[in-house]
Chains A and B, each alone.
Chain A
Amino acid sequence: MRNILAIAHRETKAYFGSPIAYVVIGVYALLFGYFFYALLIYFDRQSMQMAGMGGPQSVNINEQLIRPVFLNSNVILLFMLPLITMRTYSEEKRSGTIELLLTSPLTDFQIIMGKFLGAMTLYGAVIGITLIHMALLFAFGQPEWKPIATAYLGMLLMGGCFISVGLLISSVTKNQIVAAVLTWGVFLLLWVINWIASFMGPTTAAVLNYLSITGHLEDFTAGVLDTRHLVYYVSFITFGLFLTARSVDTERWRG
């Protein structure tokens, strides 16, 4: 554990000691702010209309605003996470610092977990920015906190999946651009994989729907904690990290 934290600490420092963290957080904050604002005015218009038509006194802010904000803003992460993960292994390979790590008394697992935690810390800081927006909603309205909590949990898990894939891809190449593009491709595929589900047979459709990395987020944002989704995310992350370990080991044999 000590070693994992040592690696994670260095990774975090590398993110925050360079412009990477600030650029990622800043751009995310800007774009998320825009999404938030767009959905907020839409929500505002909707609730006015509802009130005018003599409908229910207020529309559900969790369902009508918070949930769509989270689901829609995912697209920002789709573009940004590959940029966080692309350097994890590629850069160490290129600069030769991988020799330091691999000749230190560390296991591959410790190095991988350290890198994973480091990237997760940055990711946590990125989505942590959105707590400001949630605080605003609490200041001016009465949203329920529980669905928000599950939404954040879901976001963390989903990010974990993306990061584990990113680590894996970064571990197979020296070239950061290659790592970023491949990672982005895989993310996008996992994102849209269920689009064709409705045209497929029931079995294929079920498989495709289950594979979709973002599909599993929907219940989380609705405040539903379903073990099915938890199992999906946790096993996805485990599998990604496991493959990374295999990949690092293979590289070692190949030299």
Chain B
Amino acid sequence: MIEVQHLTKRYGPFTAVDDVSFKVEKGEILGFLGPNGAGKTTTMRVLTGYMPATDGKALVAGYDVFDQPIEAKRRTGYLPETPPLYPDMTVRDYLTFVARIKGVPRQERKARVETVMERTRVADMAKRHCGKLSKGYKQRVGLAQAIIHNPDVLILDEPTAGLDPKQIIETRQLIKELAGDHTIILSTHILPEVSQTCQRVVIINKGRVVAVDTPENLTSRLRGSETMYVQVDAPGADVIGALSAVPGVTRVASATVPGTVTAFEVDSEAGRDVRRDLAATIVTRGWGLLELRPMRMSLEDIFLHLTTEEAPHA
């Protein structure tokens, strides 16, 4: 449903997003996790057609956001970091206006506005001016405008930022409810948020994708094991089998690298240093050991910068 290929965005000499690629399947909730300034908002802005990418491609519902922006935008709902509300308009007027510019046909507009107001629980504020709403209501009206044209894809930039714990729980619940009909990308810098709402996580740092995995795997990788990156020059040999036999190793996967050398990711039990044994295994078989280094570091670095606990609300 969403496909991002080698996306790069530079602001002058500064690279905000560097060669980012990922895919989101229909009906999935993808979490976009990274510390502040990692490039989450920039990626989302490119996906929504707000700004063009310097390089690379992004497809939404099969339409290139740069070449066919109107078609792509028709199928995208977007909640920016600050909900884009007009303070002087009432909630109902505002949603009617958004429905109009998003191309909801005149006959359906009224019903659609009432439906989304019910769904996002803002109906009681229909006549209130947007500027006079509380933070939680603003966020919900923001969500309401994002889903008003029933888009295939929903892009939510920090949908729970600045809300109190009760509102956060409500918002997450709402997002989960929306997941069936829409494909959702949501960004956050809060670790527990992804494990509670998302099926898959893209971790991004300094503009680069660091990891793509399910929240469970990520957490176990973080807590339970260490990963080693090994490059071996052994054409045709069963390296995976040999490495798996090393005591303490829990998983060996090949990492693709061009050329004849082969690279592997080796997971091992926590707290057990398998480097010595790995090296011995490779060398005694007469293979060339080209590289051996722990991989986990970068990921750990990121997690250090993430909020790992729910912020006590101020």
A-side interface residues toward B, CB under 8 Å?
2-3, 6-7, 9-10, 13-14, 17-18, 95-107, 252-255
Contact = CB atoms under 8 A, between A and B. Distances in A.
Interface string B59-89: 0000000000111011010101111111111
Interface string B261-301: 00000000000000000000000000000000000000000
A245 B81 CA distance: 26
B155 to A, nearest CB: 9
Nearest to B77: A103
Interface residues of B, number: 34
B88 A252 contact: no
A105 B11 contact: no
A14 B131 CA distance: 13
A101 B11 CA distance: 22
Contact of B84 (A14, A96, A106): A96
B51 A252 contact: yes
B101 A6 contact: yes
Interface stretch (B41-49, B160-168, B199-207, B236-244): B41-49
Contacts of A17: 88-89
B50 to A, nearest CB: 5
A10 B88 CA distance: 11
Contacts of B78: 99-100, 103
A254 B11 contact: yes
Contacts of B82: 95-96
Interface of B: 9, 11, 42, 45, 48-52, 69-71, 73-74, 76, 78, 80-89, 93, 97-98, 100-103, 145
Nearest to B65: A103
B89 A13 contact: yes
A99 B74 contact: no
A177 to B, nearest CB: 19
B84 A255 contact: no
Contacts of B73: 103-105
Given A10-B97, A95-B86, A107 B70 contact: yes
24 contacts: A2-B100, A6-B97, A10-B86, A10-B97, A13-B93, A14-B86, A14-B89, A18-B88, A95-B87, A96-B80, A96-B81, A97-B85, A99-B45, A100-B80, A100-B145, A103-B50, A103-B76, A104-B73, A104-B101, A105-B71, A105-B103, A107-B70, A254-B11, A255-B11
A102 B48 CA distance: 9
